[in-house]
């Protein structure tokens, strides 16, 4: 397909179709019908990042790696003191940090999907789509890793505590908890990437990576939303209560893991001061709440945002 094809009208139609697929969810639909539609969409709009992106093209001087308003320090006193070169460099490191977090999240997601289908009929379309999604996630993780290498940054990883909590969650999570965590990651990144790939001030490679991710993740969001709605309607009361509590704590971990504090030191800033300004930034708080708004509205609708867990959601900064 190549980078030109990713900028073509066909690619724009793929994004529009993916958006419709993501948003087409109201009342519960038969599992097999949903899976059949998702499999058909996968057949029409799937990508091979190794051949569909021009990895040999040089990065373009003066172009950003994230839209300016998505950079964590945007609007802070530190930001005002930075020159444009330093700001762009920070966007490069933050794009790499988000890609590293994406790989971590996707590895967890693949294990959660494997656990979900372990006891299900392997010949069903529902299971077939789960396996298709895992194949997508494998390609996404390799794509993100290749982008990190291209950007020439360190590999940013979650904190030791977050890494440990991720290991616990992917091992013991209930099914509704697993799909809540899946949406928590996918929908926040999706919202940010939907304003990244059309932004001509951003590096073409980053735009291509985010466009592929948006198109394919829309199917994953539809699958997870449908299953979570079903699980919250059918699971026992204790599981609903546990999902509400665990989702809030997961929101705290995810929100704090997207941008590693190490990125600030890499561009010559004091990490403690930078992190303090980010946490006090009204712009950053509004950005994160905007990124999570579709997700939190959906979780509220199906009964996940309720009870004591809401306090943790507010602590995460994703919920006003």
Mean pLDDT, the chain, integer: 92
Residue 41 domain-assigned (yes or no): no
Q: At 64, phi and psi to the nearest 5?
A: -85, 170
Q: Does residue 17 carry a pLDDT above 90?
A: no
The confidence band for 169, taking pLDDT boundaries of 50, 70 and 90, is confident
Find, among 292, 302, 191, 293, the residue nearest to 243 by Cα: 302
Q: Within a domain: residue 34?
A: no
* Least confidently predicted of 7-11, 99-103, 144-148, 165-169: 7-11
φ, ψ dihedrals at 202, nearest 5°: -95, 150
Tens digits of residue pLDDT in 275-288: 999 999 999 999 99
Summarised one tens digit per residue, pLDDT across range 70-84 is 999 999 999 999 999
DSSP notation for 88-119: HHHHHHHHHHHHHHHHHHHHHHHHHHHHHHTT
Query: What pLDDT is stored for residue 11 in this prediction?
Result: 56
pLDDT confidence of residue 14: 56
Predicted local confidence at residue 244, as pLDDT: 95
Residue 155 lies in a domain: yes
Question: Does position 10 have pLDDT exceeding 70, yes or no?
Answer: no
Task: Give pLDDT, residue 271.
Answer: 96
Task: Output the pLDDT for position 26.
Answer: 47
* Residue 44 binned pLDDT confidence (cut-offs 50, 70, 90): very high
Q: Decide if 36 is inside a domain.
A: no
- The boundaries of the domain holding residue 190 are 6-21+68-316
Report field, pTM of the whole predicted structure over 0.85: yes
Q: Is residue 32 part of a domain?
A: no
27 lies in some domain: no
| CATH label of the domain that carries residue 216 | 1.10.620.20
The number of domains in the chain is 1
pLDDT of residue 68: 97
Look at residue 25 and tell me whether its pLDDT is greater than 90.
no
CA-derived radius of gyration, the chain: 19
| CB distance 17 to 45 below 8 Å | yes
Give the mean pLDDT of 284-298: 96
Q: How many CB atoms lie within 10 A of CB 285?
A: 15
Q: What is the pLDDT of residues 116-152, one digit of tens each?
A: 999 999 999 999 999 999 999 999 999 999 999 999 9
- Band (1; pLDDT cuts 50, 70, 90): very low
Q: Does pLDDT of 24 surpass 60?
A: no
| Residue 101, pLDDT score | 95
> What b/e readout covers 237-247, taking b as 16+ CB neighbours within 10 angstroms?
eebbebbbbbb
User: Which residue has better confidence, 189 or 4?
Assistant: 189
The pLDDT value given to residue 33? 94
Look at 26 and 310; give whichever has higher pLDDT: 310
Q: What is the pLDDT of residue 305?
A: 95
């Amino acid at each position: 397909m190549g980078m030109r094809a990713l900028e073509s009208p066909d690619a724009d139609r793929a994004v529009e179709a993916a958006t419709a697929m993501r948003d087409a969810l109201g009342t519960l639909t038969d599992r097999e019908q949903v899976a059949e539609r998702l499999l058909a969409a996968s057949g029409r709009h799937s990508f091979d990042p190794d051949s569909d992106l021009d990895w040999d093209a040089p990065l373009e001087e003066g172009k950003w790696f994230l839209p300016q308003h998505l950079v964590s320090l945007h609007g802070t006193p530190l930001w005002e003191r930075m020159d444009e070169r330093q700001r762009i460099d920070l966007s490069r490191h933050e794009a790499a940090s988000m890609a590293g977090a994406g790989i971590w999240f996707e590895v967890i997601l693949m294990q959660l999907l494997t656990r979900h289908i372990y006891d299900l009929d392997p010949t069903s379309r529902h299971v077939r789509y789960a396996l298709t999604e895992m194949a997508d996630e494998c390609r996404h993780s390799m794509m993100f890793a290749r982008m990190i290498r291209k950007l020439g940054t360190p590999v940013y990883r979650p904190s030791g505590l977050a890494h440990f909590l991720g290991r616990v969650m992917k091992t013991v999570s209930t099914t509704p908890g697993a799909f809540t965590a899946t949406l928590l990651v996918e929908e926040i990144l999706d919202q940010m990437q939907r304003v990244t790939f059309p932004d001509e001030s951003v590096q073409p490679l980053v735009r291509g990576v985010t466009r592929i991710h948006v198109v394919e993740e829309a199917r994953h969001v539809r699958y997870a939303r449908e299953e979570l709605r079903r699980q919250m309607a059918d699971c026992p009361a204790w599981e609903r209560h546990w999902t509400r509590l665990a989702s809030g704590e997961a929101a705290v971990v995810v929100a704090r893991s997207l941008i590693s504090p190490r990125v600030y030191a890499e561009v010559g800033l004091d990490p403690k001061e930078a992190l303090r300004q980010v946490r006090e930034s009204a712009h950053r708080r509004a950005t994160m709440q905007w990124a999570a708004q579709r997700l939190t509205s959906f979780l509220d609708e199906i009964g996940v945002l309720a009870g004591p867990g809401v306090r943790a959601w507010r602590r995460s900064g994703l919920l006003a």
